[in-house]
């Protein structure tokens, strides 16, 4: 099969000419070829295999390109990379690999194209296109990867037990590709993942989270998480999720399976947002339910405080998986902590005060919070579903109404601590905090508008209650 149409970009002609000048054979391999055949749009990453030195080829290509892009060399791995316009090209010499039990880092030797294709993770990633003058554009497909693309199959070139044991990260990649491409993992391969799942322990958490993030970025992440659970990998990577599995029954009273509910919520939220961290919040929003689950004869199953417990668990989970412990983690914590708040506001009699407090606490993320809560509706009863959706729609409308009037989002007190100190000639003290808190509460309760004048008057009254006297009292308020 010839696929010259895949090689229209002028970068390929430059690589072909450069390889000829060096007396090397060169091939495009992997994802670029796969995605071109699947018509998955423009691929910005290109992998080139040279029969010889990939580093030497990269440097020669850079010399032959306009503006001579910088070549990054990774001697440890025998690879080199350059950026040409909006495309990232990685070069490697063809190689064969051997592994030991305790590491996914192979012992590498120079090899042939066949050796290089043998070491690839899946048949659909072993497809190669020739860049050589005598057969430019020819497809080399030793493992019938084209058939696997046609039949939507994830299959390993060699024995799956060898492939997954050698590099256990490939187990996660198999599940990620199945989720991304809507493919099926071959039965033998899936069984091998289950047999070798404990080998995942030799993979760094940083590499694991890259794959988890890619699964969460898919259109329907539940496909991947169900495969992770089925193969035993999820128990090893995210035990907080597998702890949610199952339905307990006491005295005829049951609760829903919070694991499957969680996956529904994740799929729901993916229809409305590409925000990876909001998707993480959906995945983790109920993790506090496992440690807080209790049975009470009067009320049945309860999960009191699961949002608070879950938000604490988010930090520990992020730290363990080497996820960012910055504003992204804090965002996920806030979403988990507040995930049940809007549910309490769906009653028609909800007060403006409750809405103000929700907006105050959620700040810029109130819209994200509402998106999470709407995704949390997983009832299969159409009447209940429509009722809940309409209720949340009403809450959104009230948020807009209150926000336009009271400007609570990212609330800044109309009276600063410095102004309180200057008014009452105070040094830093607890009284300043009391006055600020009184003003904030009065605004949130709707007792005074979010304006400086009303807040100033309340400041004077609260100061008087605390036994403070203003330096320059307003005329008529204090006798002289």
Local confidence pLDDT in tens for the 480 residues of the chain: 778 888 998 999 999 999 999 999 999 999 999 999 999 876 789 999 999 999 999 999 999 998 899 999 998 788 999 999 889 999 999 886 555 566 556 555 678 888 889 889 999 999 999 999 999 999 999 999 999 999 999 999 999 999 999 899 999 999 999 999 999 999 999 999 999 999 999 999 999 999 999 999 999 999 999 999 999 999 999 999 999 998 877 766 777 889 999 999 999 999 999 999 999 999 999 999 999 988 887 778 778 888 999 999 999 999 999 999 999 999 999 999 998 888 767 665 678 888 888 888 888 899 999 999 999 988 888 988 888 888 888 888 888 888 888 788 777 889 999 999 999 999 999 999 999 999 999 998 889 988 999 999 999 999 999 999 987 665 544 443
In a domain, 328, yes or no: no
185 shares a domain with 140:
no
According to the model, what pLDDT value does residue 315 have? 97
According to the model, what pLDDT value does residue 105 have? 60
173 shares a domain with 139:
no
Q: Give 34-37 contacts, CB < 8 A, sequence gap 24+.
A: 34/124, 34/125, 34/127, 34/145, 34/149, 36/3, 36/6, 37/3, 37/127, 37/146, 37/149
d(CA 423, CA 76): 67
In a domain, 404, yes or no: no
Q: C-alpha angle 395/338/290, rounded to 5°?
A: 125
Confidence (pTM): 0.85
Nearest to 355 by CA among 253, 273, 417, 444: 444
According to the model, what pLDDT value does residue 107 have? 54
In a domain, 62, yes or no: yes
Tokens of 466: 């605390």
141 shares a domain with 38:
yes
74 shares a domain with 207:
no
207 shares a domain with 121:
no
At 468 the three-state DSSP class reads: coil
d(CA 4, CA 129): 9
According to the model, what pLDDT value does residue 99 have? 55
73 shares a domain with 23:
yes
Q: Do 213 and 323 meet the contact criterion of CB atoms below 8 Å apart?
A: no
The pair phi, psi for residue 458, each rounded to 5°, is -65, -35
Please give the full DSSP string across 162-219, using - where no structure is assigned.
Answer: HHHHH-THHHHHHHHHHHHHT-EE-HHHHHHHHHHGGGGGGS-HHHHHHHHHHHHTSS
143 shares a domain with 103:
yes
In a domain, 41, yes or no: yes
Tell me how many domains the chain contains.
Answer: 3
Single residue among 117, 151, 185 that ends a domain in this structure: 151
In a domain, 117, yes or no: yes
Nearest to 82 by CA among 47, 116, 51, 106: 47
At 378 the three-state DSSP class reads: coil
Secondary structure letter of residue 106 according to DSSP: P
According to the model, what pLDDT value does residue 341 have? 83
Q: Looking at residue 94, which CATH number applies to its domain?
A: 3.30.460.10
65 shares a domain with 204:
no
Please, is 123 exposed, middle or buried when counting C-beta atoms within 10 Å of its C-beta (0-12, 13-18, 19+)? buried
In a domain, 14, yes or no: yes
In a domain, 230, yes or no: yes
121 shares a domain with 45:
yes
Q: Looking at residue 158, which CATH number applies to its domain?
A: 1.10.110.30
According to the model, what pLDDT value does residue 380 have? 87
According to the model, what pLDDT value does residue 273 have? 97
- Determine how many CB atoms are found less than 10 A away from the CB of residue 294: 10
Length of the chain: 480
Please give the full DSSP string across 59-90, using - where no structure is assigned.
Answer: HHHHHHSTT---EEEETTTTEEEEEETTEEEE
163 shares a domain with 142:
no
Residue ranges making up the domain that contains 441: 417-465
For residue 80, what are the β-bridge partners?
A: 73, 91
In a domain, 244, yes or no: no
According to the model, what pLDDT value does residue 102 have? 62
d(CA 290, CA 242): 9
86 shares a domain with 175:
no
Single residue among 95, 121, 151 that ends a domain in this structure: 151
According to the model, what pLDDT value does residue 170 have? 96
Nearest to 358 by CA among 294, 426, 406: 406
Single residue among 237, 267, 298 that ends a domain in this structure: 237
Residue 117's H or E segment, with its range, is helix 113-118
170 shares a domain with 204:
yes
Query: Residue holding tokens 């409308």?
Result: 397
Residue 335 CA, chain-centre distance (Å), reads: 14
Q: Write the secondary structure of 283-335 as one string of H (helix), E (strand) and C (coil).
A: HHCCCCHHHHCEEECCCEEECCCHHHHHHHHHHHHHHHCCCCCCHHHHHHHHH
């Amino acid at each position: 099969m010839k696929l010259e149409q895949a090689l229209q970009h002028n970068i390929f002609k430059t690589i072909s000419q450069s390889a000829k000048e060096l007396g090397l054979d060169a091939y495009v391999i992997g994802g670029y070829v796969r995605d071109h055949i699947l018509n998955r749009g423009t691929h910005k990453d290109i992998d080139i295999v040279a029969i010889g030195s990939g580093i030497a080829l990269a440097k020669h290509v850079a010399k032959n390109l306009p503006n001579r892009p910088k070549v990054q060399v990774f001697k440890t791995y025998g690879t080199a990379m350059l950026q040409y316009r909006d495309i990232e090209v990685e070069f490697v010499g063809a190689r064969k690999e051997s592994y030991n039990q305790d590491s996914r880092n192979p012992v590498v030797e120079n090899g042939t194209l066949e050796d290089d294709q043998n070491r690839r993770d899946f048949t659909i990633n072993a497809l190669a296109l020739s860049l050589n003058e005598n057969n430019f554009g020819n497809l080399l497909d030793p493992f019938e990867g084209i058939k696997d693309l046609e039949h939507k199959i994830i299959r390993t070139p060699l024995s799956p037990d060898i492939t997954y044991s050698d590099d256990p990260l490939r187990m996660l990649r198999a599940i990620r590709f199945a989720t991304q491409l809507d493919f099926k993992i071959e039965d033998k391969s899936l069984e091998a993942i289950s047999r070798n799942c404990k080998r995942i322990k030799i993979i760094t958490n940083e590499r694991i989270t890259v794959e988890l993030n890619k699964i969460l970025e898919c259109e329907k992440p539940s496909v991947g998480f169900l495969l992770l659970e089925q193969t035993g990998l999820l128990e090893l990577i995210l035990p907080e999720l597998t702890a949610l599995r199952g339905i307990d029954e006491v005295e005829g009273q049951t609760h829903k399976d919070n694991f499957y509910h969680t996956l529904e919520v994740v799929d729901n939220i993916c229809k409305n947002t590409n925000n990876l961290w909001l998707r993480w919040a959906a995945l983790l929003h109920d993790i506090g339910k496992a440690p807080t689950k209790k049975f009470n004869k009067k009320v049945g199953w309860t999960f009191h405080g699961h949002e608070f417990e879950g938000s604490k668990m988010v930090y520990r989970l992020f730290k363990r998986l080497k996820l960012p412990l910055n504003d992204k983690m804090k965002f996920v914590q806030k979403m988990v902590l507040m995930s049940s708040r809007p549910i309490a506001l769906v009653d028609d009699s909800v007060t403006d005060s409750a809405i103000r407090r929700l907006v105050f606490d959620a700040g810029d993320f109130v819209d994200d919070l509402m998106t999470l809560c709407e995704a949390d509706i997983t009832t299969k009863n159409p009447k209940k579903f429509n009722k809940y959706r309409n209720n949340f729609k009403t809450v959104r409308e009230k948020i807009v109404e209150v926000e336009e009037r009271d400007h609570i989002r990212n609330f800044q007190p109309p009276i600063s601590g410095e102004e309180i100190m200057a008014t009452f000639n105070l040094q830093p003290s607890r009284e300043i905090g009391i006055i600020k808190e009184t003003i904030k509460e009065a605004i949130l309760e709707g007792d005074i508008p979010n304006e400086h004048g009303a807040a100033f008057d309340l400041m004077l009254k609260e100061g008087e209650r605390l036994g403070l006297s203003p330096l320059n009292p307003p005329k008529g308020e204090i006798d002289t």
